[in-house]
Structure 1
Amino acid sequence: MKTLEIPTFECETGNYHTFCPISCVAWLYQKIEDSFFLVVGTKTRGYFLQSAPGVMIFAEPRYAMAESEEGDISAQLNDQKELERICVRIKNDRNPSVIIWIGTCTTEIIKMDLEGIAPKLEKQLGIPIVVARANGLDHAFTQGEDTVLAATTHRCPEYNHRPTNQHGEDVAKHLAVDVAPSNNLFGEKNKSNRCNLVLFGSLPSSVASQLNLESRRQSVSVSGWLPSQKYTELPALGEGVYVCGVNPFLSRTATTPMRRRKCRLVGAPFPIGPDGTRAWIEKICSVFGVKPEGLEERENQIWRNLSDYLEIITGKSVFFMGDNLLEISLARFLIRCGMVVYEVGIPYMDRRYQAAELLLLQHTCKEMKKPMPRIVEKPDNYSQVQRMHELQPDLAITGMAHANPLEARDIDTKWSVEFTFAQIHGSINARDALELVTRPLRRRSDSILGCRSLSRQTAGV
């Protein structure tokens, strides 16, 4: 097949056929340890969080539903008084450092003014209240996290790039030679600039530590993460601070520090797979004028350690239906592993934020001599099933709603939601990502071997 040099983008008329974006509560409550999440919506949303991510079982102390009843919907009750009653109880019972309101489809339909109510209650209670819209009308699955982090960005302290002494005096007035901007941005005089890097994206602490270590090996220290483990430890943002994302679904979080806080965005591929992690670190190093060392050897070593998985998937084909906005990064990683990606369905595509990832995808296809996959934004699921029927991929990565129908059509599937909750970032976690990909393929292989063995036994009888 001919390798396409330039990616082609299509947009169909499908809606967001994805998991509900309020699912972000399931992983954000674990990351922000002193927070309390209040989901504002109907009982249906509570049932979803209880049955799907299981949040009520594990996070009961820091999660609650502000249930909208008929009186709320018909405007017979005062929204502010009802939310005040719940938040007062939260403060008395839990006393969190921050209360995060998650707006659902219900709040959008009845036009509930959460942004107007929050400042009044925040002043009254003395607890920060962050409002994040995570309704399925406007957002895809993982964009719930994007809205929470973008809202939290406004609460980050201001970064002061002009140092002061113990008396509060501006040191720059006395030591201009040490702190004044220089044409040599990365010279010895400005060496402290290397620490002004904030990474954004919610990852387990162990994975975040791995990425911190990867950058520290190259003499680039991470000054903070958004979100931080404690709300009271949010990183300082402002002019002179560089921000870099670890997930492709955080486009709103990427633009907010630039527009509101004058930060500079590091446009890098995302650290998924050994290839993506290396490209991510190289881009950060280039911004800070650091020459990376040992990355190629480290990447090659990890690829050698993945040889058992690569034998299973090399030459296999995969089809992404589109669900969690990780599709481009995962497709690039699987092409580097030797797979053929027929189509990448994605609910929403910010080409500026994912520009570096798309460029790496293009280079990966050329390097591996694989065709450039078709990229379809807001795909129509019916049309996708028809295309899969014609292409007959070995594996389909899809939302849970379509897994069983595809399995009935003899197409192996993997739930895309599993990649959202699994630890797949960084070079070390590439095995976990490939474990998810190869499991259905190995299951089919074992099934075929079992049938052959049974037929031999039957023939012997």
Structure 2
Amino acid sequence: MNAPDLTPRAATAPVEAGCGDVTIRQERGQRAVFCGLTGIVWLHRKIQDAFFLVVGSRTCAHLIQSAAGVMIFAEPRFATAIIDERDLAGIADMNEELDRVVRRLIERRPDIRLLFLVGSCPSEVIKLDLGRAAQRLSTTFSPDVRVLSYSGSGIETTFTQGEDACLAALVPEMPRAEADAAPALLVAGALADVVEDQFLRIFSELGIGPVAFLPARRAGQLPAVGPNTRYLLAQPFLTDTAKALEARGATRLSAPFPLGVEGTTRWLKAAADAFDVPEAR
């Protein structure tokens, strides 16, 4: 359905008599990159009790399996609910089919605490409103399992936008911080656990805290957000996440991204300045 087309688009100009030169034209655009579904490859490792259920075609299933490189005896925390001709033709009720798949999944995997329904195409194409389906299923399986949705469609998203859409879907679920809560720092963007631990150590040595990360390692550990929350972006592509955090009252700390020595130093300094850390530290 949304398999990325990585084939270069080339056209050969007419060759004049006696001329051996050939002009190659390569067209570039969104079709030349992976779709947002590929964000699942690192997100499913980060949120340890979450499951990503892609609602799409067999092509989508093959894409995720190939991108993740999961061995056949592994039990990954993602899968594809495959849409076939009966679903698209309206012969089968897609909401009932989805409910059945989700129920079987949760019965088989009782460790799931957060389920993402990830659209591989816009709702108009797959004829299923995943937002409403997520609300319905969340009510059904509450409080044990929270169900959210976002789009990983190749029509609507590119490689990095999948993570942005996922985190933006989490922001409304974050607890509300009290108005008189102490200032807190939030780092937004999926990081490897070892990198996250290193940042926690550095912030602690600087006297900055409390510090939380989005996404959290577990669904039940979402940090609170409010007017006294200051946030740093760990990735440069989290536009929707930033807007959602600011709608909850958080304030962005303007800083370069933590890429390279200079970028990381200035990123840390932005946090230090916001929390009045003396230059000597």
Query: TM-score, normalised on structure 2?
Result: 0.84
Q: Which residue of 2 aligns with 1:242?
A: 230
Q: 1:254 to 1:69 in 2, by over 3 A?
A: same
Q: Deviations over 1:26-47 (max 9, x none)?
A: 1111110011110110000001
Q: Which residue of 2 aligns with 1:287?
A: 274
Q: Which residue of 2 aligns with 1:114?
A: 130
Q: 1:60 to 1:293 in 2, by over 3 A?
A: farther
- The structural deviation recorded for 1:254 is 0.9
CA contact (8 A) 1:29 1:59 kept: no
Q: Does 1:144 align with 2:162?
A: yes
Q: Which residue of 1 aligns with 2:146?
A: 128
Give the helix-richer structure, 1 or 2. Answer: 1
Q: 1:30 to 1:58 in 2, by over 3 A?
A: farther
- The structural deviation recorded for 1:13 is 7.5
Question: Quick one: distance in 2 between partners of 1:55 and 1:73?
Answer: 29
- The structural deviation recorded for 1:233 is 0.4
Q: Which residue of 2 aligns with 1:277?
A: 264
Q: Deviations over 1:277-305 (max 9, x none)?
A: 001011111222223446xxxxxxxxxxx
> Which shifted more, 99-108 or 36-45?
99-108
Which amino acid in the other structure matches residue 104 of structure 1? S
CA contact (8 A) 2:70 2:76 kept: no
Q: Which residue of 2 aligns with 1:80?
A: 95
Which amino acid in the other structure matches residue 271 of structure 1? P
Q: Deviations over 1:153-193 (max 9, x none)?
A: 11111111336xxxxxxxxxxxxxxxxxxxxxxxxxxxx42
Q: Does 1:44 align with 2:59?
A: yes
Aligned to 2:68, the other structure's residue is in SS state coil
Aligned to 2:236, the other structure's residue is in SS state coil
Aligned to 1:154, the other structure's residue is in SS state helix
Question: Quick one: distance in 2 between partners of 1:38 and 1:59?
Answer: 16
Q: Structure 2 matches for 1:116-265, cutoff 5 A? A: 116-126=132-142, 127-162=145-180, 192-193=182-183, 196-259=184-247, 261-265=248-252
Q: Does 1:267 align with 2:254?
A: yes
Q: 1:159 to 1:56 in 2, by over 3 A?
A: farther
Which amino acid in the other structure matches residue 265 of structure 1? R
Question: Quick one: distance in 1 between partners of 2:229 and 2:73?
Answer: 36
Q: 1:151 to 1:106 in 2, by over 3 A?
A: closer
Q: 1:293 to 1:21 in 2, by over 3 A?
A: farther
Which amino acid in the other structure matches residue 121 of structure 1? L
CA contact (8 A) 1:108 1:135 kept: no
Q: Which residue of 1 aligns with 2:79?
A: 64
- The structural deviation recorded for 1:107 is 4.5
Aligned to 2:79, the other structure's residue is in SS state strand
Q: Structure 2 matches for 1:23-38, cutoff 5 A? A: 23-38=38-53
Question: Quick one: distance in 1 between partners of 2:93 and 2:276?
Answer: 56
Query: TM-score, normalised on structure 1?
Result: 0.52
- The structural deviation recorded for 1:59 is 6.0
Aligned to 1:237, the other structure's residue is in SS state coil
Q: Which residue of 2 aligns with 1:351?
A: none
Question: Quick one: distance in 2 between partners of 1:248 and 1:20?
Answer: 17
Q: Which residue of 2 aligns with 1:91?
A: 106
Q: Structure 2 matches for 1:396-435, cutoff 5 A? A: none
Question: Quick one: distance in 2 between partners of 1:233 and 1:56?
Answer: 29
Question: Quick one: distance in 2 between partners of 1:120 and 1:211?
Answer: 38
**How many residues are paired up?**
252
Which amino acid in the other structure matches residue 215 of structure 1? F
Unaligned runs of 5+ in 2: 1-26
Aligned to 1:161, the other structure's residue is in SS state coil
Q: Which residue of 2 aligns with 1:354?
A: none
Which amino acid in the other structure matches residue 139 of structure 1? T
Question: Quick one: distance in 2 between partners of 1:284 and 1:99?
Answer: 33
Q: Which residue of 2 aligns with 1:352?
A: none
Q: 1:59 to 1:282 in 2, by over 3 A?
A: farther
- The structural deviation recorded for 1:215 is 2.2
Aligned to 1:105, the other structure's residue is in SS state coil
> Pairwise CA RMSD of aligned residues?
2.0
Question: Quick one: distance in 1 between partners of 2:241 and 2:70?
Answer: 24
Aligned to 1:225, the other structure's residue is in SS state strand
Question: Quick one: distance in 1 between partners of 2:124 and 2:138?
Answer: 21
Question: Quick one: distance in 1 between partners of 2:190 and 2:75?
Answer: 20
Q: 1:255 to 1:137 in 2, by over 3 A?
A: same
Question: Quick one: distance in 1 between partners of 2:73 and 2:195?
Answer: 21
Q: 1:212 to 1:16 in 2, by over 3 A?
A: farther
Which is greater in Rg? 1
Question: Quick one: distance in 1 between partners of 2:108 and 2:164?
Answer: 28
CA contact (8 A) 2:200 2:211 kept: no
CA contact (8 A) 1:42 1:106 kept: no
